[in-house]
Amino acid sequence: MDQKLTLGSKFRYGLADLGFSLITSAMQFFLLFYYTDVAGINPALSGVALMVGKLTWDAFNDPLFGYWSDRTRSRFGRRRIYMLIGAVPLGIAAWIIFSLPKGLTGVPAFFAVLLSFWLVDTFHTMTATPYYALTPELTRDYTERASLTSIRMVYNVVGYNPRCSVDHHPGRNIQWGRIKPASGLERHWRGLWGHRYNYYSAYHIFYQGTT
């Protein structure tokens, strides 16, 4: 398909990446903090469980779902069927990973972290891998692909921005469970420093991708 895509189509396509980036950034910025300071899980145990999850199932599920998607035939297409099946379970899995019972220790804590991570990772890969593979299938035009990807990345930046802002809240210093007020000068400096690159990146990506 070499035809031009409408701007509305590009924005609708890019919207899905907002959801992916919200989930991914929440896990990257808050998951270990949640395990140790909210759920009360031993930091070493939670770190080992996540490492095991990364080095096992997460190490090869991307090419696996890509392989399955490439060979799938359905009335919804070979990509959309996985997104339709995985979207709702992904949201439920993201809720589960931040809803572990408090006070878990030892083997139960290890498997709670590992299995909940595997659950999120499975449905994230099931939906995200076919989604990103859609870009070259929506159009063969190089400029259109660049524009489509640029708009998608704007959503990605927007999804990461609030998580970064909360994690580095200009009014707080978070130090291993202790939250103390920051000074006025520090709030101002950290706010400017934290936001300027996000908005500059979003503007630059959007401008380059739509001109």
**Residues 112-137: pLDDT tens digits?**
999 999 999 999 999 999 999 888 88
Per-residue pLDDT reduced to its tens digit, 137-176: 888 888 888 888 888 888 888 877 765 555 544 444 444 4
CA distance 29 to 163: 7
CA atoms within 13 A on the CB side of 98: 15
Residues 6+ apart with CB under 8 A from 26: 94, 98, 163
Q: How high is the pLDDT of residue 157? A: 83
Q: What residues are paired with 180 via a beta bridge?
A: 173
pTM (two decimals): 0.75
Of 118, 132, 138, 135, the closest CA to residue 66 belongs to: 132
Query: What is the overall mean pLDDT for the chain?
Result: 79
Domain ranges within the chain, ordered by starting residue: 7-210
